[in-house]
Amino acid sequence: NAGVTQTPKFQVLKTGQSMTLQCAQDMNHNSMYWYRQDPGMGLRLIYYSASEGTTDKGEVPNGYNVSRLNKREFSLRLESAAPSQTSVYFCASSEAQMVGYTFGSGTRLTVV
């Protein structure tokens, strides 16, 4: 099984450009999450989807939008990229409330 697949792995954007980060899981998990990781800041939750058809804001949602396309896929969109969005983005999924996440391999995004 592939687990959680994120694309692309690397991306360089110019300020103001838009892009969508893709995430898909093949574990039939209900819940999916988007985090960003910055040096010294740990992982911060951007958005999450507790189940298909629902999405909720996390700690740092400004500048991002999400779509839970179906049970497998959860995308993150940057409408107008800013240098402050330079980060490593991780998608994760989980089956139930009491278990941990499975993470994707991450997307390293640089906004210049």
Q: Which residues bind other proteins (CB under 8 A)?
A: 31, 33, 35, 40-45, 48, 50, 58, 90, 94, 97-106
What is the C-alpha separation between 68 and 10, in angstroms, rounded?
22
Between 51 and 80, CB nearer to other proteins? 51
Residues forming beta bridges with residue 4, ordered by sequence position: 25
Between 31 and 85, CB nearer to other proteins? 31
Q: Which of 45, 69, 73, 41 is nearest to 59 (CA)?
A: 45
Minimum distance from residue 35 beta carbon to other proteins (Å):
8
Minimum distance from residue 47 beta carbon to other proteins (Å):
10
Contact call for residues 55 and 73 (beta carbons, < 8 A)? no
Q: Which of 87, 88, 75, 84 is nearest to 16 (CA)?
A: 84
Between 19 and 50, CB nearer to other proteins? 50
Minimum distance from residue 40 beta carbon to other proteins (Å):
6
